[in-house]
Amino acid sequence: MGPTGAACQPGYLRRRLRRHFAYGGLKVDTHMRVLDTRDRPIAGLYAAGEMTGGFFYHGYPSGSGLMRGSVTGRIAGREAAGG
């Protein structure tokens, strides 16, 4: 059975990201703002969780992704809402 309703409307994202974890990711500052190639924050763009770079380098400790998402998500949400 295929998608129905809103999923069939033009412009609806039909492909979903399926990733468990990543060793790379977007470069962010301590406020979880995504940085450009010159290390300047991109206005209005925040990132959180395992898709932010610089956290998993030598290995992936079990359960660490949940904590990473919780901590960085809270920071990004607070900053996006105006600090």
pLDDT (tens digit, 9 = 90+) per residue, 69-79? 888 889 999 99
| pLDDT tens, residue by residue, 11-45 | 555 555 555 555 678 899 999 999 999 999 999 99
Alpha-helical segments (H) within the chain: 64-80
Identify whether the C-beta of residue 23 lies closer than 8 Å to the C-beta of residue 42: no
Question: Looking at this protein, which amino acid is placed at residue 17?
Answer: L
Please tell me the number of Cα atoms within 13 Å of 9 on its side-chain side: 4
Q: What DSSP designation does 52 have? A: B
